[in-house]
Structure 1
Amino acid sequence: MSEEKVLGFVGLGVMGGPMCANLTRKSGLPVIVYDARDDALASAVEIGAERASDLADLAARVDIVFLSLPSIAQVEEVVGEILAAPRHPAVIVDMSTSDVTRTRELGEQVAAAGAVLVDAPVARLRQAAVEGTLLITVGAPEGLFATLEPHLSCMGSDIVHVGGLGNGQVVKILNNMVVFQNVNALAEAMAIGRTAGVDGRLLFETLQLGSADSFQLRKNAMGTLVPDEFPEKAFPTLYAIKDLALALQLAEDGGLTVKGAQQTMELLEATRDAGYELNYYPVMIKLIDGRG
């Protein structure tokens, strides 16, 4: 698989768009793209990608296809169309955040069609997707990982092989679970600090000097909770609920009770129900401080 000549990319959204742009610019290989939105396709073509007329057209032309889609439901649908094409790629790489059990079941269907499914979900913020500095956790056979790593390195700075199919999703899902709980704790600290008369920015700048420091404090909290800005074109509350639900399902499957994650889920669901489903999920602070 080290001599594949053509790459494919499906899903040119908030994360997929810049990821595909980096793959196109850095891989040195032709990249065929498909998305349901004409504007997203046009943007990809502007930087050198080639447009597929539909998924069957893409499947016929590529050796490896990368997917960046909202959920496992869309992944299953797209993979089904790819496999139904007269000719399909040998390797399908799902870079979405997807259900672990359904990912492994889909892998069996892909194998039955003579191809291989790899999970390689991404972590870090959209800016990292733009800069090509994502963390990518990969579930794949060792030899195939070695083949894919140069392509994945076009999109990420940290590419980690974490075992077989589904393990990439497990690590990504747990990463997000910790992130959401961290932001929950920071939002609570902000609300308490302000109520007690401490300026929010001063509070977080000081916490960065101590053992409470974290990436989420320095990047997420300072960028959203301090200015109290939660735009819609970011990682919305609905996405956070979806990802945390995957972590809670893993816990349930393992017979575990995780009360911290459950509490954060309840807060996210209340945030959604208050009308903030499309806002960047740290908007949860409005429920904590009584503005929701």
Structure 2
Amino acid sequence: MKKIGFIGLGVMGLPMATNLVKKAVFPVRGFDIFEEKRDLFKNNGGISVNNIEDIYYNCDIIFLCLPTNSLVKISIQEIIDTERKGIIIVDLSSTAPNTIEEMYIQSKKNEIRLLDSPVSGGEIGAIEGTLVLMCGGDQEIFDEIQPLLLCMGSSVTYMGASGCGSIAKLANNMIAGCYIGAMSEGFAFAVKAGIDPETLFYAIKDGYAGSKIMNDKIPKIINRNFEASARIAVHQKDLKNAVQLAVELGVEIPMSKMILDYMNKMEKLGKVNEDHCAIAKVYEGSMGVEIKKNAVKVQ
């Protein structure tokens, strides 16, 4: 029986790992640097381990859900250094394509198979098991691992060679970031002009401008609830990766660069761990308004 390991039990990782525990036919070991996260994983039926080497040396399939490119690279290299052959690594993180491609080459040389399989759908999607997964790497490894990916998501798509999953994720987050920016601008503008934002939300949410993002994020903004289901810091990292790839491709991505600038402003304000919809505060600041409940009295 294959043994599954899951490294990184954060906002996204914990519910994803929990869905694996509930739906996969294999035992799942989980590790996080925070003991409380390991305890939560254990309480949800997983096998909690106290050191990462337990997963490196005992698991056949290892999932990574880590916040930075460097941590992903370090973890993959440490798995390579065990000199175990035939391990499958699935990186669920939002990792820079060039980092993934570099580590794919290193892994393959050492008879380790690496898939990049970033996700979209936020914390709610992770909890409900309805994430969208975009995968890059060898087709035969994708085919082998797809049933496990479907334990965490409702849509799993093979995008192509190594790095293609990561590129798809960048495109996804470029679009999502620009949409959050446009949505924030429109609502701040409406409040400035005397429209109640809650009334506006119900008026337009089922129209052409409506979307799942609007349905999820506008209520958070209106209720001033910026607890992160998707942190600015993670989205900021993705946009930085997109800007770097755009430079390599010789193209301009001005809208995404603008949103990245706003996220950088939020970082300077010490708010990088808030939900990414908190960039609405930048628009609010420039217009001198707040997009909040009863912001404007309806006559």
* TM-score, length of structure 2 as denominator length: 0.91
For residues 88 and 40 of structure 1, the distance between their equivalents in structure 2, rounded to whole angstroms, comes to 29
Aligned residue for 1:275, secondary structure, equals coil
Aligned residue for 1:138, secondary structure, equals strand
What are the residue-to-residue correspondences of 1:57-136 with 2, within 5 Å? Answer: 57-85=54-82, 87=84, 90-136=87-133
Greater shift, 32-41 or 150-159, is seen at 32-41
Greater shift, 49-58 or 67-76, is seen at 49-58
* Residue 253 of structure 1 pairs with residue 259 of structure 2: no
1:210 CA displacement: 2.5
**Among residues 168, 171, 183, which one is paired with 2:168 in the alignment?**
171
Aligned residue for 1:283, secondary structure, equals helix
1:20 partner letter: A
1:96 CA displacement: 0.3
Quote the residue 2:183 is aligned against: 186
For residues 47 and 65 of structure 1, the distance between their equivalents in structure 2, rounded to whole angstroms, comes to 19
* TM-score, length of structure 1 as denominator length: 0.93
Aligned residue for 1:66, secondary structure, equals strand
RMSD: 1.7
For residues 64 and 227 of structure 1, the distance between their equivalents in structure 2, rounded to whole angstroms, comes to 41
Whether the 8 Å contact between 2:88 and 2:112 is mirrored in structure 1 is yes
Whether the 8 Å contact between 2:85 and 2:111 is mirrored in structure 1 is no
Distance 1:214 1:57, change over 3 A: same
Distance 1:47 1:210, change over 3 A: closer
**Among residues 237, 247, 257, which one is paired with 1:242 in the alignment?**
237
For residues 274 and 48 of structure 2, the distance between their equivalents in structure 1, rounded to whole angstroms, comes to 31
Distance 1:156 1:10, change over 3 A: same
Distance 1:274 1:37, change over 3 A: closer
Runs of 4+ with deviation above 6 angstroms: none
Which sections of structure 2, spanning at least 5 residues, go unmatched?
290-299
Distance 1:145 1:165, change over 3 A: same
Quote the residue 1:230 is aligned against: 226
Greater shift, 31-40 or 188-197, is seen at 31-40
1:12 CA displacement: 0.7
Aligned residue for 1:276, secondary structure, equals coil
Q: Deviations over 1:184-208 (max 9, x none)?
A: 0111111110011111011122222
For residues 70 and 172 of structure 1, the distance between their equivalents in structure 2, rounded to whole angstroms, comes to 14
What are the residue-to-residue correspondences of 1:147-166 with 2, within 5 Å? Answer: 147-166=144-163
1:89 CA displacement: 5.4
Aligned residue for 2:251, secondary structure, equals coil
For residues 46 and 212 of structure 1, the distance between their equivalents in structure 2, rounded to whole angstroms, comes to 41
* Residue 211 of structure 1 pairs with residue 208 of structure 2: yes
Paired residue total:
287
For residues 175 and 260 of structure 1, the distance between their equivalents in structure 2, rounded to whole angstroms, comes to 14
For residues 118 and 127 of structure 2, the distance between their equivalents in structure 1, rounded to whole angstroms, comes to 16
For residues 85 and 39 of structure 1, the distance between their equivalents in structure 2, rounded to whole angstroms, comes to 28
For residues 86 and 240 of structure 1, the distance between their equivalents in structure 2, rounded to whole angstroms, comes to 34
Whether the 8 Å contact between 1:24 and 1:48 is mirrored in structure 2 is yes
* Residue 30 of structure 1 pairs with residue 11 of structure 2: no
* Residue 12 of structure 1 pairs with residue 24 of structure 2: no
Which sections of structure 1, spanning at least 5 residues, go unmatched?
none
